Amino acid sequence: MFQEFFSRSSQLVWPLIGLLLSVVFFVGVLAYVFLGLRDRGHIGQLAALPFETEETSEGPAAITAGQIGRAS
Amino acid sequence: MDTTNTQMKTVTYDDAIVRAFSTVTVLWGVVAFLLGVIIAAQLSFWQANFGVEWLSFGRLRPLHTNAAIFAFVGNGIFAGIYYSSQRLLKTRMANDMLSWAHFWGWQLIIVCAALSLPLGLTQGKEYAELIWPIDLLVVVVWVIFGANFFWTLAKRNEKNLYVSIWFYISCIVTIAVLYIVNNLALPTGLTHSYPIFGGVQDALVQWWYGHNAVAFFLTTPPLGLMYYFMVKAADRPVYSYRLSVVHFWSLVFLYIWAGPHHLLYTALPDWAQTLGMLFSVMLWAPSWGGMLNGLLTLRGAWDKLRTDPVIKFFVVAVTFYGMATFEGPLLSIKSVNALGHYTDWIIGHVHGGALGWNAFLTFGILYWLFPRLWGTKLYSTKMAELHFWIGTVGILLYVVSMWVSGVSQGLFWRALDAEGFLKYPDFIEGLSNSIPMYHTRLLGGVLFLGGSLLMVWNLIMTARSGKPVTVSVQVPAQRPAGDKENAWQLLTSAPMLFMIGLIVLAVWFGAAGSMLSPVLLALLIVLGVAMIISYGVHQKRWGHWYGLIERNALVFTLLALVAILIGGAVEIIPTVLASKDVPLQITEKMAAADPVLAEKAKWVQKPYSPLELAGRDIFVREGCYNCHSQMIRPFRHEVLRYGEYSRLEESLLDHPFQWGSKRTGPDLAREGGKYDNLWHYMHLNNPRSTSPASNMPTYKHFKRKTVNVPALERHLAVQKKLGVPYTDQDLALAGQRYASQAKLISDDLAAKSITVPANSEIIAVIAYLQRLGRGPQPLAPVPVAATPAPAVQAVPATTLPAATPAAVPAKTPATKTTPAGH
């Protein structure tokens, strides 16, 4: 089947290579993430990175999320 | 982070740079939207071009797209990146001077673009119109940005790189690669150049860039911002960190391959089109994974949707991201693309993404940032709510009208009668039907602009009610210790080696013959089993592997770079090689020996004459490609309307290619010879004189302006360096030939009582239009007896081919259609 396919043009190998690359890559990433990356504590820590720091501000007090409304 | 018994130090964030970028985002946003409204008005009412050359649609449309992409979204991205990166990395930006050099450099680029594009200084490639000196400035500023960013990564006080940072890294490295490759050009002067790629190569490189400018400028950085600002606004961690890993790697790997979906059914090799289509369809998965990850982040916080306009903007933005990334793969399916390409459907799709996703996300970020940067509350929540609703209605009017208009156009163009001929042969009839939709689009644009003006007022008042805030954070005095593994150890670790091995074997298996394939398949299975065993034995080490990669910025950046380079290389290198296979000069002997070559010989493009090249430069300068394609697709309805479908060989010498992406006017690939010179003169002077319903601007300035003929020799010389087969004699006689051919056209017009100088631009443009789809045209009067004319008489013989009908491929079978109107 492949021989017949390729006999039409030597360029036809490129889409096949592309597809194989992407399939292997995608399956690899999926398998790794759902089988290998299972340390829930570590993952939770990474997901919480945007909330880790206690900020202090000079000048008017910084406001927190959701605190919006007409000033004055 | 454990800070017990640790000495702490204070890090003060540089939010002044965030304030600066945020402020200009608001300013340039209004400019971009206003330009959009103006060009929308021009499509509704041609009078809105005001008869002023630098206000014409072809020049303002690139200014609008550049302003929207690079000025509005660009500055918004930088504001978000500077704000979030400092907080995620727990450090101040590495160097304030670099930050400000980035800021002022970027604004300088925008001002240069705003001045140069209306003046007609352009490279003639969509979203890459900026001339080469500005391109160099872009590269310098981008390097400054990148250096500052990676330096900040190196001095960070947080070991782990949050998902947002991954998206920023991919943006910085990929845009650098795309921008440099697509803008490679040879200058002819300070403000003009020709791209080094021509024809099909240029088309593929351009859309590899064009599509991925959308991907890596308008998608990955905003996704990074989504993962930070949406999370902060919702006060909830991201729904699934693991899904974000799959989202990131799949997106950066797949996106880069999808560019050819802009070139379906063109002269691009079919395999590249199929590849583009398949990868575009595959993109559906990671895109929707990201969208769902964003929306589900709001779990437990949906009540905020009622009260918080920031969340409203974010939710609609992510929803439009989902819609646009559903519609994109849909339009990439060849049969759907056959209907939608070149129509307003694409405009609707693009604006669903640009207005819905990019603009609304940016608005949400601005509403979130301004109160925090100025230490106050938002001036008016109600005004922000009003902005949200006006903007949403504006987008819907825009997108829906373009869908209706686009689908109607596609159906109108392809409609055949019972005998198989065009049902609507006059192109202009379709345009007339679209005008009500154009009015609706204009209304949508006005609403969107109106909403953004409310935002400007709201944000100005917010800033005025507060004062700039300086934010500090306590971090351990000692930077976190690095991992034991260095970059090399990570790159040669077991998961990496197994992955490389599997990819190499899979590729080899694909390329191997029938004898070797079973062996390679067996090896693949063995390696797969070995990988599973290795994972079972070293589960803990494998589990930490990604954490190590993601903590090592160098390795992470290298892997992201490799992921994007693979797709580009697999598509571009074979296409470059394929078009090199076509000899530019096929002799009779070569053709006799090879029937395939003989067929190609009929289509191989011959160089333009100096006059035609001058006309082409003007065509590019005016941005005619914004409305006219030069690519006839292999469909019966297109062949009936425009002539024989376009071949790869026909535009190999076109630097830049002018295949176009939209047909507000008809295709021009075989325009030559359809009308006489007088028709073109009348049409350019006043399109309504030949096509009463046309919305094309007038080009009266073509009569007034003259061509810089002495400069043409330099233009030809640069083209020669790029591979166009001009000889030294062609260069030396450029001026003489120009005058000779121009005189033919001006004499023809004079015979019809039109007096126009032979060196005026209109003569050059007519010459170019008359050349399209045909072989070389006479450079001097052709003796009446000579049929076909053997060579040019008045000009010494050179390699510029003689005017001969042999170079003109036979037209399509007889039709009962009349020529397409304009």
Q: Report how far residue B746's alpha carbon sits from residue B743's, in angstroms, rounded to the nearest whole number.
A: 5
Q: Please check whether residue B272 lies inside any domain of the structure.
A: yes
Does B179 lie in the same domain as B261? yes
Three-class DSSP category at B8: strand
pLDDT at B704 (0 to 100): 94
Query: Do B232 and A26 count as a contact with CB atoms less than 8 A apart?
Result: no
**Would the pLDDT of B45 be above 70?**
yes
Range with the poorest average pLDDT among B154-163, B414-423, B589-598, B691-700:
B589-598
Q: Are residues B583 and B631 in the same domain?
A: no
pLDDT at B53: 94
Residues B204 and B227 in one domain: yes
How far separated are the first and last CA of chain B, in Å rounded?
A: 67
User: Which of the residue ranges B105-114, B440-449, B600-609, B645-654 would you say has the lowest mean pLDDT?
Assistant: B600-609
**B686: Cα separation from own chain's centroid:** 31
d(CA B737, CA B744): 11
The encoded tokens of residue B107 equal: 């604004």
Q: Tell if the CB–CB gap between A71 and B517 is shorter than 8 Å.
A: no
Is residue B380 located within the same domain as residue B435? Answer: yes
Residue B21 and residue B79 in contact, taking contact as beta carbons nearer than 8 Å: yes
Separation between Cα atoms, residue B123 and residue B183, nearest integer Å: 9
CA atoms in the 13 A half-sphere facing the CB of B480 = 20
Q: Which of B397, B228, B226 is nearest to B325 (CA)?
A: B226
3-state secondary structure of B703: helix
Contact B359, B419 (CB under 8 A): no
Looking up tokens 């809105």 gives B48
Range of weakest confidence among A59-68, B166-175, B392-401: A59-68
Residue B500: CB atoms within 10 A of its CB come to 12
First CA to last CA distance, chain A: 76
Q: Which of B271, B363, B459, B533 to mutate to test the interface with A (most CBs of A within 10 A)?
A: B271
Tell me which residue of B302, B455, B373 sits closest to B87, measured CA to CA: B373
B304–chain A nearest CA distance, Å:
8
Residue with token string 């769902």: B292
Please state, in angstroms and rounded to a whole number, the distance separating the CA atoms of residues A31 and B225: 27
Locus of tokens 């697709």: B633
Distance of residue B601 Cα from the nearest chain A Cα, in angstroms: 20
CB-CB neighbors (< 8 A) of B468 in chain A: 59
Q: What is the pLDDT of residues B643-663, one digit of tens each?
A: 999 998 999 999 999 999 999
Mutation for B interface: A33, A49, A52, A54, most B CBs within 10 A:
A49
CATH number of the domain bearing residue B686:
1.10.760.10
Residue among B81, B383, B471, B596 with most chain A CBs within 10 A, to mutate: B471
Question: CA B223, B448, B308 angle in degrees (round to 5)?
Answer: 55
Are residues B45 and B105 part of one domain? yes
What would the mean pLDDT of B403-431 be, rounded to a whole number? 95
A57 → closest Cβ in B368, B375, B546: B375
Burial of B259 (0-12, 13-18, 19+ CB in 10 A): buried
Nearest Cα of chain A lies from the Cα of B469 at a distance, in angstroms, of 5
- Which residue in A44, A51, A63 is closest to B371 by CB distance? A63
For residue B550, what pLDDT is reported? 79
Contacts of A69 in chain B (CB under 8 A): 377-378, 381
Q: Which residues pair with B470 in a beta bridge?
A: A58
**Does the ipTM surpass 0.85?**
no
- What does the DSSP assignment read for B267-311? SS-HHHHHHHHHHHHHHHHHHHHHHHHHHHTTTT-TTHHHH-HHH
pLDDT at B812: 38
Nearest CA in chain A to B286: A26
User: Which residue, among A10, A22, A45, would best test binding to B if mutated, counting the most B CBs under 10 Å from its CB?
Assistant: A22
Distance (Å, whole) CA B332 – CA B274: 10
Do residues B561 and B614 share a domain? no
The answer to whether position B3 is within a domain reads no
Q: How far is B262 from chain A (nearest CA, A)?
A: 17
Other residues' Cβ atoms within 10 Å of the Cβ of residue A12: 18
Q: Which of B87, B513, B571 sits opposite A53 (nearest CB)?
A: B87
A66 with B228: Cβ contact below 8 A: no
The answer to whether the Cβ–Cβ distance between B162 and A15 falls below 8 Å is no
Q: Can you tell me whether residue B77 is helix, strand or coil? A: helix
Q: How far B380 CA lies from chain A's nearest CA (Å)?
A: 5
Q: Which one of B11, B243, B376 makes the best mutation probe of the A interface by having the most chain A beta carbons within 10 Å?
A: B376
Q: How many domains does chain B have?
A: 3
Testing the interface with A: which of B469, B520, B524 to mutate, by most A Cβ within 10 A?
A: B469
Nearest CA in chain A to B164: A50
Mean pLDDT over B159-169 rounds to 94
Closest CA to B358 of B197, B211, B157, B214: B214
**Chain A: closest CA distance from residue B447 (Å):** 24
Best A46, A56, A64, A67 member to test B by mutation, with max B CBs in 10 Å, is A46
Q: What is the pLDDT of residues B101-160, one digit of tens each?
A: 999 999 999 999 999 999 999 999 999 999 999 999 999 999 999 999 999 999 999 988
Query: Rounded to a whole number, what is the distance in Å from the CA of A57 to chain B's nearest CA?
Result: 4
Distance from CA of A25 to the nearest CA of B (A): 7
Residue B791 has what pLDDT? Answer: 38
Name the residue among A13, A21, A59 with its Cβ closest to that of B503: A21
pLDDT at B794 over 50: no
Give domain status of residue B783, yes or no. yes
The pLDDT of residue B483: 66
Q: Structure tokens of A24? A: 């292997």
Tell me the one-letter amino acid at A27: V
Partner residue opposite B232 with nearest CB, options A9, A56, A65 = A65
**pLDDT grade for B783, boundaries at 50, 70 and 90:** low
Token pair of B475 as six digits: 């971090």
pLDDT confidence tier of residue A9, bands split at 50, 70 and 90: low
Residue A68: pLDDT above 60? no
Nearest to B232 among A16, A39, A50 (CB): A50
Alpha carbon of A42: minimum distance to chain B alpha carbons (Å):
9
Give the pLDDT confidence score for residue B781 in this predicted structure. Answer: 78
Closest CA to B604 of B586, B591, B592, B590: B586
Mean pLDDT across B306-311: 93
For the ranges B57-61, B415-419, B450-454, B475-479, the lowest mean pLDDT is seen at B475-479
B286-322: b (≥16 Cβ within 10 Å) or e: bbbbbbbbbbebbeebeebeeebbbbbbbbbbbbbbb
Higher pLDDT, B357 or B815: B357
CB contact (8 A) between residue A18 and residue B87: no
Give the integer Cα–Cα distance in Å for B458 and B30: 14
User: DSSP alpha helices (H): ranges in B155-237?
Assistant: 163-182, 199-216, 220-225, 231-234
Q: What confidence score (pLDDT) does residue B14 get?
A: 95
- Which residue range forms the structural domain that includes residue B651? 602-793
Contact B794, B740 (CB under 8 A): yes
CB count in 10 Å sphere of residue B27: 15
Across the interface, whether the CB atoms of B535 and A35 are under 8 A apart is answered yes
Average pLDDT for chain B: 89
Q: Which helix (H) or strand (E) holds A56?
A: strand A55-58
User: Is B535 close to A38, i.e. CB distance below 8 A?
Assistant: no
Percent of chain B past pLDDT 70, that is, above it, reads 92
Q: Residues of A with CB below 8 A from B237's CB?
A: 44, 47-48, 50-51
Is the confidence at residue A3, as pLDDT, over 80?
no
Nearest to A33 among B242, B380, B567 (CB): B242
B9 forms bridges with which residues in the sheet?
B475
Q: In this structure, are residues B652 and B198 in contact, taking their beta carbons and an 8 Å threshold?
A: yes
Give the model's pLDDT for residue B799: 46
Statement to judge: residues B340 and B392 lie in one domain? yes
**Pick from B160, B517, B578: CB nearest A49:** B160
- Asked which of B591, B610, B637 is the last residue of a domain, the reply is B591
Collapsed DSSP state (helix, strand, coil) of residue B132:
helix
Q: Are B764 and B615 in contact (CB under 8 A)?
A: yes
* Residues B407 and B491 placed together within one structural domain of the fold: no
Beta bridge partners of B760: B706
Contact between B570 and A47 using a beta-carbon 8 Å cutoff: no
B579, B692: one domain? no
In a domain, B717, yes or no: yes
Is B545 in Cβ contact with A66 (below 8 Å)?
no
- Which chain A positions have a beta carbon within 8 Å of B232's beta carbon? 50-51, 65
Q: B665, B657, B677, B675: which is closest to B605 by C-alpha?
A: B657
| C-alpha–C-alpha distance, residues B687 and B49, integer Å | 13
Alpha carbons B342 and B629: distance in angstroms, whole number: 8
Taking CB atoms and an 8 Å limit, are B513 and A2 in contact across chains? yes
Range with lowest mean pLDDT among B94-98, B377-381, B574-578:
B574-578
Find, among B525, B581, B470, the residue nearest to A57 by Cα. Answer: B470
- Given a cut of 90, is residue B751 above it in pLDDT? yes
With a cut of 60, say whether residue B802 has pLDDT above it.
Answer: no
How far does the CA of residue A34 sit from the closest CA of chain B (Å)? 7
DSSP class of B706: B
- Contact between chains at A54 and B473 (C-beta distance less than 8 A): yes
Question: Please, are residues B190 and B150 in contact by the beta-carbon 8 Å criterion?
Answer: no
pLDDT digits (tens, 9 = 90+) for B371-383: 999 999 999 999 9
Report the chain B residue with the minimal C-alpha distance to residue A39.
B543
Residue with tokens 């550049």: B66
Chain A positions touching B253 (Cβ under 8 A) are 22, 25-26
One domain, residues B554 and B434? no
B452 and B507, same domain (yes or no) = no
**B5 in any annotated domain:** no
SS3 B582: coil
- C-alpha–C-alpha distance, residues B623 and B696, integer Å: 12
Q: B199 lies in a domain? A: yes
Instruction: Taking residues B587-614, report their average pLDDT.
Output: 84
Q: What are the distances in angstroms from CA B363 to CA B192, B194, B317, B453?
A: 37, 38, 9, 12
What is the C-alpha to C-alpha distance for residues B735 and B733, in angstroms, rounded to an integer?
Answer: 6
Over residues B201-247, the pLDDT tens digits come to 999 999 999 998 888 999 999 999 999 999 999 999 999 998 999 99
Cβ atoms of B807 and B772 within 8 Å: the answer is no
Choose the final residue of a domain: B591, B616, B637.
B591
**B365 contacts on A by Cβ (under 8 Å):** none
Confidence of residue A35 (pLDDT cuts 50, 70, 90): confident
Q: Which residues have C-beta within 8 Å of that of residue B691, sequence separation ≥ 6? A: B428, B683, B821, B822
Query: Is B802 part of any domain?
Result: no
| C-alpha span between B419 and B423 (Å, rounded) | 10
My answer on whether B411 and B543 are in the same domain is no
Residue scoring higher pLDDT (B552 or B149): B149
Backbone angles phi, psi at B356, to 5 degrees: -70, -50
CB pair distance less than 8 Å for A12 and B87? no
Q: Residue B340's pLDDT band (boundaries 50, 70, 90)?
A: very high
Of the three residues B557, B591, B625, the one that is the final residue of a domain is B591
Q: Which of A21, A53, A65 sits opposite B233 (nearest CB)?
A: A65
Whether residue B201 lies inside any domain: the answer is yes
By C-alpha distance, the chain B residue nearest A33 is B242
Q: Residue B541: pLDDT above 80? A: no
Determine the average pLDDT of the residues in B510-521: 79
Mean pLDDT across B714-726 = 95
Q: In what order do the strands lie in the sheet with B470-476?
A: A55-58, B470-476, B8-12
Token pair 């916080």 in the structure block, residue: B301
- Rg of chain B in Å (alpha carbons): 29
What is the distance in angstroms between the Cα of A72 and the nearest Cα belonging to chain B?
8
B65: CATH? 1.20.210.10
- Our CA-based measurement puts residue B775 at a distance from the nearest CA of chain A, in whole angstroms, of 29
Count of CB pairs separated by less than 8 Å, A with B: 212
What's the mean pLDDT in B433-450? 97
Note the Cα B319 to chain centre separation in Å: 23
Dist CA B309 CA B390 (whole Å)? 13
Which range has the worst mean pLDDT, B155-159, B241-245, B508-512, B794-798? Answer: B794-798
